[in-house]
């Protein structure tokens, strides 16, 4: 009572198309068995069909998960990029508002603070300028929050400083490095992350 591959496949096609009775009759003919045995064989094959999981079905189940992970990575990159771009926009807005209310004064570079920045290729000495300025008859000292590997100013050099009249210790050095470097850096990073995330999201979403 052995079925050939062709006979088995034909019986499967009958069962899958809803012609279970025809499958029973087919088994009776090709195997020369009675109706009861043919029905038992048909139901057994039907059970195998319902509970088996072909390789192609496994591939189809796995593929959406892979695509979903790819889209998730793209979405994360886009989210990071959008956050960075938003911070950039806020910094630009805050600097512009500060410049409107601030009062310019003359500041002098009086010293440099230095610190070592470690990285994969070794370490780099970074320098931050220290400014002295006067406002309303009082002398203030400002320690710059930006650093570079070069001393961009000469000690004694006079630089314009923007001072918040309501808080004289809140200042902004009127130079590109102090005003825009961080905004440009974050803006470029945000654009790159957003672009990479969008490309990854679209590419993984369109993969079949």
8-17, 45-54, 65-74, 99-108: the lowest-pLDDT one: 65-74
What share of the chain has pLDDT > 90, as a percent? 37
pLDDT band at 62 (very low <50, low <70, confident <90, very high): very low
Are the C-beta atoms of residues 42 and 25 closer than 8 Å to each other?
A: no
Domain limits, the chain: 5-51, 71-202
3-state SS of 182-205 is HHHHHHHHHHHHHHHHHHHHHHHH
Please list, residue by residue across 66-95, b when 16 or more beta carbons sit within 10 angstroms of its beta carbon and e when fewer do.
ebeebbeebeebbebbeebbebbeebeeeb
Are the C-beta atoms of residues 129 and 155 closer than 8 Å to each other?
A: no
Residue 60 predicted with pLDDT over 60: no
Q: How far apart are CA 35 and CA 97, in angstroms?
A: 91
Residue 67 predicted with pLDDT over 70: no
Q: What pLDDT, on a 0 to 100 scale, did the predictor assign at position 45?
A: 82
SS3 34: coil
Residue 144 predicted with pLDDT over 70: yes
Residue 30 predicted with pLDDT over 50: yes
* Terminal C-alpha separation, the chain: 43
Half-sphere exposure of 195 (CA within 13 A, CB side): 6
- Whether the model clears a pTM of 0.75, i.e. scores above it, the answer is no
pLDDT band at 58 (very low <50, low <70, confident <90, very high): very low
């Amino acid at each position: 009572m052995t079925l050939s591959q062709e006979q088995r496949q034909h019986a499967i096609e009958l069962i899958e198309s809803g012609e279970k009775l025809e499958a029973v009759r087919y088994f009776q003919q090709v195997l020369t068995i009675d109706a009861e045995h043919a029905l038992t064989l048909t139901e057994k094959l039907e059970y195998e069909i319902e509970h088996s999981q072909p390789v192609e079905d496994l591939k189809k189940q796995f593929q959406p998960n892979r695509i979903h992970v790819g889209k998730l990575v793209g979405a994360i990159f886009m989210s990071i990029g959008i956050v960075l771009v938003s911070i950039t926009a806020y910094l630009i807005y805050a600097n512009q508002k500060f410049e409107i209310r601030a009062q310019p004064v003359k500041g002098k570079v009086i010293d440099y603070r230095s610190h070592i920045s470690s990285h994969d290729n070794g370490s780099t000495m970074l320098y931050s300028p220290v400014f002295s300025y006067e406002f309303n008859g009082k002398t203030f000292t400002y320690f710059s929050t930006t650093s570079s590997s070069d001393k961009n100013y000469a000690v004694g050099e006079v630089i314009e400083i923007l001072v918040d009249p309501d808080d004289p210790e809140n200042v902004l050095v009127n130079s590109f490095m102090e005003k825009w470097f961080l905004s440009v850096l974050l803006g470029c990073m945000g654009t790159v992350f957003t672009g990479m995330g969008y490309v990854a999201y679209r590419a993984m979403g369109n993969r079949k």
